[in-house]
Homo-oligomer: A and B are copies of this chain.
């Protein structure tokens, strides 16, 4: 352990939406609340948004001032260069990819951003599910080859340890995973159980700020399929993408069907599954009826749960009670601390 930590991590941010702004606040104005961040000194040299301009300051951006400015004016100036040029030319240590999942474009442009950072021997940290869902095998091999880190703790269950847990599971091999991993559908089903219509339940989730703008990403199971692909790729050695996950969303669920299940003591849940079957990985997302005394049934509203089967131990679970933006930002911060510690 050298004293190199004292040199701050120079970061390129791609995306400055809710998660990035939360992260920026935790690293600046709220920093005193989190003593565990002491070892993380981070200075952005560029912050790109999709449609609201960019800041590029090779000497370092004042993150607190940038956050205040963006919140006040809703935009940065026009970008002085494209993201790709910045990733190729700027002097930085870590790419912080916080753009959102794009299924139609197969995880792009985030996959390309991460690939470019890794190729330049820069670490890549992302909360975007795209890179690990569409290109895990390629990008993790590239990171290993270049001696840098490709980290995405927030991509599944926010900052609750999922991928970082692998280290803790020394000696164990994961043989199967299942979970309730999409907050929006779990919340929507809970509202259907209260007699609300699908339409109204989705609007409530959007109003509370945790449904995607395009609700089909959640309702049709794409978000869940992306997470399932990541889990299959990381834990089961698969090389699949979200389009290869058998997928059925909750669009067909009605308050009536949900009420009928409840009458026989059961609850619908959108369950993700990935398991090894005769050496092959099978990955699936579909609504299932769960008996009321099963653990999945106890995951309410915005909760999430992941069940891990291993070769050595009986199944165990990781459960999130009621995650918010802080949880997602915390996962990115954990990854950044891992990068800082690995220098």
Contact = CB atoms under 8 A, between A and B. Distances in A.
Contacts of A88: none
Interface string A24-45: 0010000001111100100000
Interface string A288-321: 0000011101101000000100111111111111
A36 B298 contact: no
A154 B78 CA distance: 56
A275 interface: no
A170 B297 contact: no
Contacts of A314: 320-324, 326-327
A310 B333 CA distance: 14
Contacts of A307: 321
Nearest to A309: B321
- How many copies the complex holds: the figure is 2
B173 A168 contact: no
Contacts of A315: 321-322
A161 B171 contact: no
B326 A312 contact: yes
Interface residues of A, number: 51
B160 A334 contact: no
Given A300-B293, A321-B317, A36 B311 contact: yes
Contact of A165 (B37, B165, B295, B319): B165
Residue of A36, A170, A293, A297 most packed against chain B (CB within 10 A): A170
Contact of A169 (B35, B293, B334): B334
A335 to B, nearest CB: 8
Interface string A119-137: 0000000000000000000
Interface in A126-179: 158-161, 164-165, 167-173
A160 B167 CA distance: 12
A254 interface: no
Contacts of A321: 295, 307, 314-317
A338 interface: yes
Interface in A165-197: 165, 167-173
Contacts of A324: 314
B173 A36 contact: yes
Nearest to A153: B168
A83 interface: no
A173 B317 CA distance: 21
Given A297-B298, A315-B321, A317-B321, 13 more contacts: A37-B171, A164-B170, A165-B165, A167-B167, A167-B168, A170-B334, A170-B338, A293-B300, A298-B298, A307-B321, A310-B330, A314-B320, A318-B319
20 contacts: A36-B170, A36-B171, A36-B311, A158-B313, A165-B168, A167-B168, A170-B337, A171-B337, A172-B334, A294-B298, A297-B298, A298-B298, A307-B321, A312-B326, A312-B329, A312-B330, A314-B323, A314-B326, A317-B321, A319-B319
Interface of A: 26, 33-37, 40, 158-161, 164-165, 167-173, 293-295, 297-298, 300, 307, 310-324, 326-327, 329-330, 333-334, 337-338, 341
Instruction: Please give me the 5 A-B residue pairs with the lowest Cβ-Cβ distance, nearest first.
Output: A164-B168, A161-B168, A317-B319, A298-B298, A36-B171
